Amino acid sequence: MFARYKKPSGSTPAKKETPAKSAKPANAAAPAARVGTTAPNTSLRRPLPASSAKAAPQDRERKRKERLGEIKLDLHRALLDNLNLSALDTATESDLRAEISAIAAEVLEERSIVLNREERSTLTQELYDEVRGLGPLETLLKDDTVNDILVNGPHQIFIERDGKLELSDVTFKDEKHLLRIIDKIVSAVGRRVDESNPYVDARLLDGSRFNAMVPPVAVDGSLVSIRKFKKDKLGIDDLVSFGAFSEEMAAYLQAAVACRLNVIVSGGTGSGKTTTLNALSSFIDNAERILTIEDTAELQLQQIHVGRMESRPPNVEGKGEVSARDCLKNALRMRPDRIIVGETRGEEVIDMLQAMNTGHDGSMTTIHANNPRDGISRLENMVAMAGIEMPLKAVRSQIASAVNLIVQASRLQDGSRRMTSITEITGMEGEVISMQEIFRFQRVGLTPENKIIGHFTATGVRSNYSERFRLWGYDLPASIYEPVRPE
């Protein structure tokens, strides 16, 4: 049996781990949950919403899971002892599954453990995921409703669904197990993570963005963050139908992108910046040559003429780095019509502003900021950090002439993602950059379920670019600039 994938005789059996029972849970030292004192309900403040994390599973269910977890660990050891790991890469899925269930059946019989059919098939699937895939993460990666996976040590995995974080019932056996999966991911892309190199960025095979930080820098066990890659990125129509922005805003943005305004998408972490940038890019004409520069290639442009670049961190010897700035400088020699930088976070800001100012108009990027005004300050700070000795006024006027539009993406407190502002940069007034907001999301209240009530509205200010839009064939009706009247 297991002839094909069984280890050749004489090979060293896998090192036995400490028996599960004696293994101390990695979070054993974690402080017990704090018990808050209940304040008398006399204040005007709304009561805090109940935690969105699911309640701990029932005791019996938990015990059963623990038992299954231990059986799985035993079986996994048996698999490692019995499988010829080097032959696994070439094994077909069905062969490997057959092999795994045969080994599982044998071990279960040896230990007189009886499982029902469903348990047996879950077990085989989990073992398969351990051997071929990314263990417990595999089910979450396959679940299309999950956007983000956030691991806080082996026993706590949060997921983001519909904009809300919830505690999943998936766990790793222990820190060692978690580290093994992290190692599997990073070694597949030729990286290493250990005490001397405690954090790493990588990309999963399916394109998902992956970041891990391991102990001792990560105090209670390894921290992993995964932004799932969506095969079908949300398009303009999807975003309008999800209520991310209005039809009028979409029409304005179409004109802005098509008429080659330089656009910055500003927003907090996970607010939908990349999604917005990707959707905006759909308004670029097919005849244009677009170059994209990203730290992790996430954009999926639909045009035919696209050159994609991905910056590279230094390798373990500290060599071979190719920064976003390097890519950007090189891109300027590659005759681009437009340059799209996934995120501007450092010294590449100088080259980005220069590109926007010198004939590569229609360029786009994203920055981390909570509102358009902050976005401008971020740009100023980045210029200062890049070590450019320039008076503030000169920096500001560079920014004012480079950037035409700031689109603000926000994740609101109910988890919904909305474009909360579209703001034009109109120039300089003395030392200050002047701006005018054209559209915004107007909040009006909160439902009893804590859902935000609000609507998109124009501010009543007509775009500075309306003449340009008209000349380029995008004659937007004056009505789109009229504010929505409250009912």
Ligand X SMILES: Nc1ncnc2c1ncn2[C@@H]1O[C@H](COP(=O)(O)OP(=O)(O)OP(=O)(O)O)[C@@H](O)[C@H]1O
Residues at the interface with Mg ion (CB under 5 A): 273-274
Q: In what order do the strands lie in the sheet with 223-227?
A: 164-167, 157-161, 148-152, 223-227, 209-213, 199-203
Distance CA 126, CA 142 (A): 13
Between residues 107 and 250, which has the closer beta carbon with respect to ligand X? Answer: 250
Q: Is 225 in the site for ligand X (CB under 6 A)?
A: no
Q: Helix H segments across 111-228?
A: 117-132, 137-142, 175-188
Q: Within 10 A of 168 (CB to CB), how many other CB atoms are there?
A: 20
- Closer of 274 and 365 to Mg ion (Cβ): 274
CB 476 within 8 A of CB 469: yes
Residue number, 245 or 474, with CB nearest to Mg ion = 245
The full length of the chain comes to 487
Cβ 440 vs Cβ 459: under 8 Å? yes
Examine residue 199 and tell whether it contacts ligand X (CB under 6 A). no
**Which stretch, 8-16, 150-158, 213-221, 239-247, contacts ligand X (CB under 6 A)?**
239-247
> Whole-number minimum distance, CB 251 to ligand X, in Å?
18
Q: How far is the CB of 342 from Mg ion (least distance, A)?
A: 7
Q: Which of 270, 300, 459, 462 binds ligand X (CB under 6 A)?
A: 270
Contact pattern from residue 367 through residue 406 relative to ligand X, giving x for each residue in contact according to CB under 6 A and a dash for the rest: ----------------------------------------
Instruction: Please give the residues from 130 up to 149 whose contact with ligand X meets the rule CB under 6 A.
Output: 147
Q: What are phi and psi of 111, to 5 degrees?
A: -95, 10
Nearer to ligand X, 71 or 340 (CB): 340
Q: Is the CB of 267 or the CB of 336 nearer to ligand X?
A: 267
State the CB neighbour count (10 A cutoff) for residue 92.
8
Interacting residue with ligand X among 76, 177, 203, 273 (CB under 6 A) = 273
- Rounded to whole angstroms, the Cα distance separating 463 from 476 reads 10
Nearest residue to ligand X, using CB? 272
Q: Which does 242 bind (CB under 5 to 8 A by kind): Mg ion, ligand X, none?
A: ligand X
Q: Does 292 bind ligand X (CB under 6 A)?
A: no
Q: Quick one: which H or E segment has residue 393? A: helix 392-402
Q: Helices then strands (H, E): number in the chain? A: 14, 15
Provide the strand spans (E) within 222-363.
223-227, 263-267, 290-294, 306-310, 338-341
The Cα–Cα gap between 164 and 277 comes to 22
Q: How far is the CB of 384 from Mg ion (least distance, A)?
A: 24
Phi, psi of 180 (to 5 degrees): -65, -40
The DSSP call for residue 22 is G
Q: What is residue 481's DSSP assignment?
A: G
Query: How far is residue 207's CA from residue 308's CA, in Å, rounded to a whole number?
Result: 14
Nearer to ligand X, 81 or 374 (CB): 374
472 binds, among Mg ion, ligand X, none (CB under 5 to 8 A by kind): none
* Span interacting with ligand X, options 65-73, 263-271, 327-335, 346-354, rule CB under 6 A: 263-271
| Span of 110-118, 236-244, 253-261, 462-470 interacting with ligand X by CB under 6 A | 236-244
Closest approach of Mg ion to the CB of residue 76, in Å: 35
Instruction: Tell me, rounded to whole angstroms, the distance of Cα 476 from its chain centroid.
Output: 35
Question: Binding string, 404-423, against ligand X, x = CB under 6 A?
Answer: -------------x------
300: contact with ligand X by CB under 6 A: no
- With 0-12 CB in 10 A as exposed, 13-18 as middle and 19+ as buried, what is 132? middle
Rounded to the nearest angstrom, the gap between the alpha carbon of residue 300 and the centroid of all alpha carbons in its chain is 14
Residue among 222, 275, 410, 421 that touches ligand X (CB under 6 A): 275
**Member of 186, 202, 239, 259 binding ligand X (CB under 6 A):** 239
| Binding of residue 107 to ligand X (CB under 6 A) | no
Tell me which stretch binds ligand X (CB under 6 A): 16-24, 106-114, 234-242, 445-453: 234-242
Asked if 267 touches ligand X (CB under 6 A), the answer is yes
Q: Which is nearer to ligand X, 26 or 202 (CB)?
A: 202
Measured between alpha carbons, how far is 480 from 457 in angstroms, rounded to an integer? 9
Nearer to Mg ion by C-beta: 69 or 270?
270
Residue 274 vs 457, nearer CB to Mg ion = 274
Strands (E), 430-479: 432-446, 452-458
Residue 211's nearest CA partner among 145, 151, 146 is 151
Q: Which residue has the tokens 């600039």?
A: 481
* 252 versus 441: smaller Cβ distance to ligand X: 441
168 binds ligand X (CB under 6 A): no
Which residues does residue 165 pair with via DSSP β-bridges, in sequence order? 160
Q: Which is nearer to Mg ion, 275 or 463 (CB)?
A: 275
CA distance 363 to 83: 53
For the bound state, the minimum distance from the C-beta of residue 409 to Mg ion, rounded and expressed in Å, comes to 10
Min CB(116)–ligand X separation in Å: 36
Q: Would you give the distance in Å from CA 120 to the centre of its chain?
A: 34
Q: Report the interface residues with ligand X, using CB under 6 A.
A: 147, 227, 230, 234, 239, 242, 244, 267, 269-275, 417
